Amino acid sequence: MSTEFKLLKRVLSRYSTPMTLNYPSSVVPERKYSQIPSGLRGVPERDRDKCIGCRACYFACSGRATEVIDEGNKRVIDIFLFRCTFCAHCQEACPEEAIKLTERFEVAFPRDEPGAHVSTELDLLTCERCGRPYATKRMLERTYERLMEKIDPLVKETVSNDYRKLIGYCPDCRRANSVALDTHTKKYVWLEGV
Partner 1 sequence: MVNEFILLLSMLVVVFVGLFLGVIYSFLLRKISARLQWRVGPLMSVYSDLRPLLGTTRVLQPLYDVMKLFGKETIVPEVSRRRLFLYSPYISLTFAVLAVLFIPFPGAPLLSSTPYSLILASYLLIGAALFSVLGPVASGSPWAAVGVRREAELFLVSELGFVLSIFSVAIARGSLTIWEIANSPPRPILTAVAGALMLAAMLGKLHIKPFDMPEAEAEIVAGPYTEYSGRLLGTYYLARIFILYGLMALFVSLLLPPLSTSIIWLPAYLVSTLVLVFLLALIQVLNPRYRIGNALIWYVKILIPLSILNIVVLVV
Partner 2 sequence: MGIIERARVYSPWIYHLHCGGCNGCDIEILAALAPRFDVERFGIQLVPSPRHADILVATGCVPKQFVPMVKRVYSQVPEPKVVVAVGSCACGGSLFYDDSPENYAILGSVDRVIPVDVYVPGCAPKPEAIINGIVQAVMKLNHKKG
Partner 3 sequence: MKFATDPKLLEFVKEICPDGLEYRQLHENRVAVRVRVEDLEGLADLFIKFGARLIHATAIDLEMKGFEILHIYDFSKVRERLVIILEAHTERPEVPSIGKVTWQARWAEREMKELLGIEFVGMPDERHQFLPYEWPEPVEGGAQKGSEFIPMNMPITEAYQTLIPIGPYHPGVIEGQTVYVKVEGEDVVAADIKTGFHHRGIMKLIERRGYGRGVFAAEKICGICSGAHGLAYVTCVENLYESEVPDRALYIRTLLAELNRMQSHLLWIGVVADVIGWKTGFMLTWGLRERVMDIIEAITGNRVNYGVWRVGGVSRDVPQELAERARRAVEGLKEECSELLALVADHPVVKSRLIGVGKLSYEQAFDGGAVGPVARGSNWKMDVRADNPPHAIYDPKLISWEVVTDNGCDSYARTIVRVKELLVSAGIVSQCLEHLSKTTGEIRAKPRSIPVGAEAVGLNEAPRGELAYYIRASDRDENLPQGIRIRTPSYRNNAVLPLMLVGCNLADVPVIMGSIDQCLACTDRVEVIGENYRRSMGWEELVAMSRRASRW
What's the CA gap between 158 and 169, in Å, rounded? 19
Least distance CB 152 / partner 2 (angstroms): 43
* Cα 138 from chain centroid (whole Å): 15
- Which residue number, 85 or 160, has a Cβ lying nearer to partner 3? 85
- Cross-strand bridge partners of residue 149: none
Q: Are 134 and 124 in contact (CB under 8 A)?
A: yes
Counting residues that bind partner 2 (by CB under 8 A) gives: 28
Taking CB under 8 A as the rule, does residue 110 contact partner 1?
A: no
Question: x/- site string to partner 2, residues 75 to 104, per CB under 8 A?
Answer: -----xxxxxxxx-----------------
What's the CA gap between 136 and 126, in Å, rounded? 9
Taking CB under 8 A as the rule, does residue 115 contact partner 1?
A: no
DSSP single-letter state for residue 191:
P
Torsion of CA 17, 20, 25, 26, to 10 degrees: 70
By CB under 8 A, name the one of 16, 17, 34, 183 that touches partner 3.
Answer: 34
**Within positions 23 to 52, which residues make up the interface with partner 1, using CB under 8 A?**
24-27
Interface contacts to partner 1, rule CB under 8 A: 4, 7-8, 11-12, 15-16, 18-20, 22, 24-27
